[in-house]
Every structure is written in C-alpha cells, then in structure tokens.
C-alpha cells in the first residue's frame, strides 16, 4: 500500500514561511491499496488538494473516507472536497454513526445560523453512511482495517490497515496515559499497534509542554517513544504538529523523540510527517 500525507498539522491550518517543510494543512492522509482501492483518513484542509488530484485520476470513482472524529481540524476541508460535487463519485464514510451525523451538519443551512451555503442533500456524489459498529473490522478488497477508540475529548477512532502482512497504524488526537481513559489504557494501544511496520502517532507536545495540557487529548515525545518501543514498531512517524510549531520546532520534536528512543536502546526510525510525502509499504 501507499500512504501519502496531504495534511499533517493539528488544530488549525498554518500556511506561511515557517511551515513550508512539514506543511500547514490540517489532517488528511491518503491510503492506496495494492489492488487500487482508495481510502482517505480525515477531511482536514489537506483534502481540498487531494480532491483535485482524485478528479484528475480518471480511474478513481470511489473512495472510502475514514473519519477519526469531527473536531474542526479533521473536518473543515470537507466542503471543499471536489468529488462531492460529481454525480459519478461514490464516497463511503466509515467511522461511527454519530460522527456521520455531525459531518452532515457542516452543510446544514438551518443549523444555528447556518455554517455553509451548500446543503448536504444538494451534494451530487453518492454518499454512503457507516454501516459497521465503531469497533468493527472493515474490509477493502484484500485489506483489513481495524479500529480502536481514541483517548480524546468527545472520543474518536484510530485505524490499522493490514495488507499482505504489512501493518500501517494511524493514531492521531490520542493522549497516551498509563491509567487510560474510559476503560482504555496504555497496554491496549500496545496490543493494537503490535509490530506495526509504520506507526503514525499524534506527537503534538514536548513533555514539559504537556504538563499544562493534560486532558486535551494529545501526546508527547516521551509517551509516543515508549509506545513505539513496546509495540516493536519498525518506523515511527510523528503527526499532528502544533500550529505554533515552526519547521525548526518540528525538527526539535523529532530530535527529542530520538533521544527518548536512545535512552531505551531502541533502534527505531523516527521522523515527522511531511505534507506531500509518500511511503510505500
């Protein structure tokens, strides 16, 4: 499978000279399976350009949208996703039912004062709601996608794509704590991420920054390094860069995570997700 980052930023889009290396668009990741199925994780501002790219690829008329949750930074690009306005496009939305209802509200002109001028019913694409239970397994051809609840305010889902024995795990907006949240604890994530070939995880903060941000649903370099070591991950990619983190600051996050891995005598490749980059698994 191929994994491409269209948006790597958390919280709010931050274009500008200080974010040109790692990117300023919010969460959007494209997964293309070996059999040609197309999956998109989250609809942050990065999905706008992905939509343009899909419309140019005439062989793709169907996409699976996996929503981690519907906080603004993961949803705000959806009204600009071009395929929604094409009647020959089929969009299957995965995630939880509640999330789908929230997603529709973005287009609701009668919700409060109205948040967007185009109504959901006026979108031309065929849009299919989630049919699986929140923790159920989804199949995309030969690819199995497993889901795991996140430790995040209002909840959410993380995803694991397994194809031909290769594992890609995507967990953003997830606060790793020993004691856990709502029945989920650190060892549950260790099990879910077990022997990931690529582990992408939220790493918005340094340990000293997290002290005043506990409960916000994000992780730091120390807890993420520990998870990578305990799961036996081969490659760790840091994600959901803080909007106030410049390119230089993201390099520092990677260095600090590397120091944590060194302290644990772990040989794991670590780097930060970069908008526009592709991984082949």
Binding site for Zn ion (CB under 5 A): 10, 71, 73, 173
Q: First and final CA of the chain: distance in angstroms?
A: 5
* Minimum distance of Zn ion from residue 89's CB (angstroms): 26
Closer residue to Zn ion (CB): 30 or 173 = 173
- Report the C-alpha dihedral over residues 105, 111, 112, 117, rounded to 10 degrees: 80
* Minimum distance of Zn ion from residue 155's CB (angstroms): 10
User: How does DSSP assign 145-161, residue by residue?
Assistant: EEEEE--STT--EEEEE
What does the alpha-carbon distance between residue 266 and residue 279 come to, in Å, rounded to a whole number? 22
What does the alpha-carbon distance between residue 153 and residue 173 come to, in Å, rounded to a whole number? 9
Closer residue to Zn ion (CB): 49 or 150 = 150
Residue among 238, 244, 198 nearest 19 (CA):
244
What does the alpha-carbon distance between residue 189 and residue 195 come to, in Å, rounded to a whole number? 12
Residue nearest to Zn ion (CB): 71
Measured in degrees and rounded to the nearest 5, phi and psi for residue 148 equal -145, 135
3-state secondary structure of 102: helix
What does the alpha-carbon distance between residue 40 and residue 260 come to, in Å, rounded to a whole number? 31
Closer residue to Zn ion (CB): 4 or 9 = 9
Closer residue to Zn ion (CB): 173 or 242 = 173
Name 271's bridge partners. 237
* Minimum distance of Zn ion from residue 227's CB (angstroms): 18
Paired sense of beta strands 126-128 and 138-140, if any: unpaired
* Minimum distance of Zn ion from residue 217's CB (angstroms): 6
Closer residue to Zn ion (CB): 174 or 221 = 174
Closer residue to Zn ion (CB): 67 or 169 = 67
* Minimum distance of Zn ion from residue 169's CB (angstroms): 17
* Minimum distance of Zn ion from residue 35's CB (angstroms): 30
């Amino acid at each position: 499978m191929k994994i491409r980052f269209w948006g790597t930023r958390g919280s709010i889009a931050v274009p500008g000279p200080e974010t040109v290396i790692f990117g300023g668009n919010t969460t959007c990741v494209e997964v293309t399976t070996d059999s040609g199925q197309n999956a998109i994780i989250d609809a942050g501002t990065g999905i706008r350009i992905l939509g343009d790219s899909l419309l140019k690829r005439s062989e793709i008329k169907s996409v699976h949208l996996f929503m981690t949750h519907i906080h603004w930074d993961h949803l705000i690009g959806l009204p600009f996703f071009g395929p929604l306005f094409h009647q020959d496009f089929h969009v299957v939305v995965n995630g939880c039912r509640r999330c789908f209802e929230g997603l529709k509200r973005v287009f609701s002109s009668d919700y409060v004062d109205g948040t967007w001028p185009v109504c959901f019913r006026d979108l031309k694409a065929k849009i299919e709601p989630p049919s699986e239970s929140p923790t159920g397994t989804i199949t995309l051809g030969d690819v199995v996608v497993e889901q795991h609840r996140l430790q995040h305010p209002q909840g959410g889902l993380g995803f694991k794509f397994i194809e031909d024995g290769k594992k890609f795990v995507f967990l953003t907006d997830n606060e790793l704590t020993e004691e856990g949240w709502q029945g989920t604890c650190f060892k549950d994530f260790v099990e879910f991420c077990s022997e990931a070939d690529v582990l992408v995880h939220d790493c918005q903060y340094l340990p000293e920054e997290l002290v005043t941000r506990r409960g916000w649903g994000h992780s730091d370099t120390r807890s993420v390094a520990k998870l990578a070591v305990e799961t036996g991950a081969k490659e760790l990619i840091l994600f959901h860069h803080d909007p106030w983190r410049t390119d230089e600051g993201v390099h520092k996050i990677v260095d600090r995570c590397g120091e944590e891995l060194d302290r644990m005598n772990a040989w794991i490749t670590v780097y930060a997700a970069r908008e526009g980059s592709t991984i082949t698994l």
